[in-house]
Amino acid sequence: MQSRLPILIFALLMAAIPFVPGVPPFWIVLLDNIGLAALVAMGLVLLTGVGGLTSFGQAAFVGFGAYTTAVLSTAYGLSPWLTLPLSLAVSGLFAVLLGLITVRLSGHYLPLGTLAWGLGLFYLFSKLEFLGRNDGISAIPPLSIGSFKMLSPGSIYYAIWVAVLVSALLTMNLLDSRTGRAIRALRRGHVAAEAFGVHTPRAKLLVFIHAAVLAGLSGWLYAHLQRAVTPTPFGAHAGIEYLFIAVVGGAGYVWGGVLGAAIVVILKEVLQSYLPLILPGSGQVETIVFGIMLVALLQLAPGGVWPWLMSFLPERTSGKKPDTSLKLEQRSRPAGQSGVLLQVEKARKQFGGVVAVNNVSFDVQAREIVALIGPNGAGKSTTFNLITGVLSATSGSISVLGKKVDKAPPQEIVKLGISRTFQHVKLVPDMTVLENVAIGAHLRGHSGPLASMLRLDRTDEAKLLAEAARQIERVGLADQMHQLAGSLSLGQQRIVEIARALCVDPTLLLLDEPAAGLRHMEKQRLATLLRELRDGGMSVLLVEHDMGFVMNLADRIVVLDFGTKIAEGTPATIKTNPEVIKAYLGVAA
């Protein structure tokens, strides 16, 4: 759990500022504007920096929040406090409608899509009669508590910053949870996340809605601060600026959003106030200088100012070890010593005219280690992808415990007890080993995003982390549990992937080149672990090029060449098979 002491100190500091003698009123105005921008930037931290979804349209959601309260409080006389949930609901509803279309886009189409509907909504704001067209809506009532009316920037200051602090806490709570780990895994691509049960479109839509609701909250506060709403602050220029704020502060850090808002708002104000005195009659030269200064700042701190500043602080000591006495419910194992777990029958995969897997058939029995070997390009990893739902078979069938899965998505296949590692390591480098491994237990947890934000998921979360810690100790990486995964060697990262796969509590474990990058003693320990797993009731299907490792470990070996099975049998049989020797093993000189 993250320390809340720095947040408390920050809250007390912000609360004390208005009472400091001699503080100019304009400083309070700047702090109000910083708070409003920080709310939008925090949403972009989750959306862009953590979730990997670039949006230029967040200003439109600010507009939804602002216009909703403006219409309801002026035309219908509703209390501003009653319009708050409605403003958030309208922003969230439009986020669902736009997100269902937008989050399925990828590459450059995603930011272009957000820019397109951002421009379209700005046009609507300026043309709809009930929104006041270009003149907007004025005479919006102020926020009030009893007879106290928040008519000045100083009086609404606390409402804005309470909103910032509460939003920051809720967002941090969300990231520090089962749901948050799923969101953070999205940046490294959807394949690994989906292999452990993460429904990526749903996770993307969740962060899209969260960012939109925070923007709507900013719009609601903006309307009652300014007491007038026009379309100008909700255009494409503002959307780009919000994204720039998040990037400057540190797009992957909640407090980076707050810091970025402070840097950009203050820098703009200083340049607009003082640059004309230095360069009179220079028009909009402050915009040019502003851009140059921010680019220079990003050259100094390419990851954002917040992580750059944090790099000067001493590294934190290792986190607390989870309580490994806590247990998750375990999957039932096949009772006997025999029985087919996986059946592959005439599986075929074509990519256009290229046949990657050519009518391959084999099975994996209960409590068995099967190796899938062959030269590079033989179709081994493609076969793994067919089994785990990453790819769909062109023809043939694949069954797990008698259930066909050749058309099933990865999220359904992992529920049957199939877990895997990857040929190319797919970890989130800026998450700890413990957090990466806990992603493997995603489907064994049950708490949703709302419970996570309200910190009602602690029992569930403790069990997930305990399971992750047990598997890390099992593979011999207990000392690296709290290190960032990206700081480990390639061999250690492969072992971390095995621990993550074990968190599924699988019946069948698929390992794609697990010994690559391991030293001799590490391979010996891995072989011992895999034998223990087999003896404990788990089956293993592995792809591996180290023949010494395979021959001393596997119960059966399946050999592929150019996508076609050319042999199957025990290690002793495979060693002497003429076709295998010719295609793969070679003849000793």
- What is the spatial distance between Cα 479 and Cα 133, in angstroms, rounded to a whole number? 62
- What is the spatial distance between Cα 57 and Cα 125, in angstroms, rounded to a whole number? 14
pLDDT band at 338 (very low <50, low <70, confident <90, very high): low
pLDDT digits (tens, 9 = 90+) for 17-31: 998 888 888 999 999
Residues in the chain: 589
pLDDT for residue 50 is more than 60:
yes
Q: What is the pLDDT of residue 517?
A: 82
- What is the spatial distance between Cα 510 and Cα 517, in angstroms, rounded to a whole number? 18
CATH class held by domain 418-505: alpha beta
**From-to residues of CATH 3.40.50.300 in the chain:** 339-416+507-589, 418-505
pLDDT digits (tens, 9 = 90+) for 419-446: 999 988 999 998 999 999 999 999 999 9
Between β-strands 369-373 and 395-400, what pairing exists: parallel, antiparallel or unpaired?
Answer: unpaired
| Among 268, 269, 248, CA closest to 259 | 248
Q: What is the pLDDT of residue 588?
A: 44
What ranges in 440-488 are assigned the alpha helix state H? 449-453, 458-474
Q: Identify the CATH number of the domain defined by range 26-268.
A: 1.10.3470
Q: What is the pLDDT of residue 589?
A: 35
pLDDT digits (tens, 9 = 90+) for 60-115: 999 999 999 999 999 999 999 999 999 999 999 999 999 998 888 877 888 889 99
Give the bridge partners for 542, in sequence order.
Answer: 371, 511
- Min mean pLDDT across 208-212, 278-282, 474-478, 492-496 is at 278-282
Q: What is the pLDDT of residue 190?
A: 85
Exposed / middle / buried, residue 348 (Cβ in 10 Å: 0-12, 13-18, 19+): middle
pLDDT band at 316 (very low <50, low <70, confident <90, very high): low
The mean predicted confidence, pLDDT, of the chain is 89
pLDDT for residue 377 is more than 90:
no
Q: What is the pLDDT of residue 318?
A: 58
| Among 41, 30, 91, 31, CA closest to 66 | 91
Q: What is the pLDDT of residue 283?
A: 58
Give the bridge partners for 569, in sequence order.
Answer: 557
pLDDT digits (tens, 9 = 90+) for 237-260: 899 899 989 999 998 899 999 999
User: Residue-wise over 518-553: b if at least 16 C-beta within 10 A, else e?
Assistant: beeebbeebbebbeebbeeebbbbbbbebbebbbeb
> Mean per-residue pLDDT for 535-560?
91
Do the beta carbons of residue 420 and residue 195 sit within 8 Å?
Answer: yes
Q: What is the pLDDT of residue 435?
A: 94
pLDDT for residue 37 is more than 90:
yes
> Mean per-residue pLDDT for 116-138?
92
- What is the spatial distance between Cα 477 and Cα 390, in angstroms, rounded to a whole number? 29
Cβ atoms within 10 Å, residue 313: 7
pLDDT band at 587 (very low <50, low <70, confident <90, very high): low
Residue 35 CA to chain centroid, in angstroms?
25
Q: What is the pLDDT of residue 481?
A: 93
The helix or strand, by DSSP H or E, that contains position 92, with its residue range, turns out to be helix 80-102
Fold of 339-416+507-589: Rossmann fold (3.40.50)
- What is the spatial distance between Cα 510 and Cα 190, in angstroms, rounded to a whole number? 18
Q: What is the pLDDT of residue 339?
A: 81
- What is the spatial distance between Cα 28 and Cα 44, in angstroms, rounded to a whole number? 24
pLDDT for residue 125 is more than 60:
yes
Residue 335 CA to chain centroid, in angstroms?
38
**From-to residues of CATH 1.10.3470 in the chain:** 26-268
Q: What is the pLDDT of residue 108?
A: 82
Q: What is the pTM of this model?
A: 0.90
> Mean per-residue pLDDT for 136-147?
93
